[in-house]
């Protein structure tokens, strides 16, 4: 198979594994081929607020983490979660992850948001960060 044929086959396979459904003028539901440990697919929505679009997990990622017994918002996990959220440019509010999509940036936003959700889910497999012991001042 030559590179052009392979590139075409890859495009087709990738496009078939992502489902995108326009639910309304202001809402698009997106399903990815990636799955949580329980077998559910990672899914999220693109929502329009005025002229701006935003991706949201609608609270799924942190909820799924809690099903595995890990509260990523709790002390010990919160710092890693915050660093990951900051690295990808996401926001977290009441357990919901969001990402503001720059104009003409849906593709990049899709990949960044998907990678962020996968990385955040991986945090459930890490032990909580240990708090550094406070140094005693002897005097």
Q: Is the dihedral of CA 101, 102, 105, 111 positive or negative?
A: negative
Q: How far is CA 5 from its chain centroid? A: 32
What integer is the mean pLDDT of 27-39?
89
- pTM score, two decimals? 0.80
Torsion of CA 109, 52, 43, 92, to 10 degrees: 90
Alpha carbons 99 and 90: distance in angstroms, whole number: 5
What pLDDT digit, counting tens, does each position of 70-87 carry? 899 988 888 999 999 999
**Of 132, 130, 123, 129, whose CA–CA distance to 69 is shortest?**
123
pLDDT at 38: 84
């Amino acid at each position: 198979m030559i590179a052009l044929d392979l590139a075409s086959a890859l495009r087709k396979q990738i496009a078939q594994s992502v489902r995108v459904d326009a639910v309304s003028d202001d809402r698009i539901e997106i399903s990815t081929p990636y799955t949580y440990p329980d077998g559910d697919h990672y899914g999220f929505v693109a929502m329009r607020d005025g002229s701006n679009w935003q991706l949201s997990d609608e609270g799924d990622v942190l909820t799924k983490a809690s099903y595995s017994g890990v509260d990523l918002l709790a002390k010990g996990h919160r710092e890693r979660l915050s660093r990951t959220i900051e690295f990808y440019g996401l926001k977290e509010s009441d357990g919901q992850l969001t990402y503001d999509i720059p104009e003409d940036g849906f593709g990049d936003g899709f990949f960044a948001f998907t990678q962020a959700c996968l990385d955040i889910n991986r945090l459930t497999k890490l032990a909580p960060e240990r708090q550094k012991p406070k140094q005693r001042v002897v005097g």
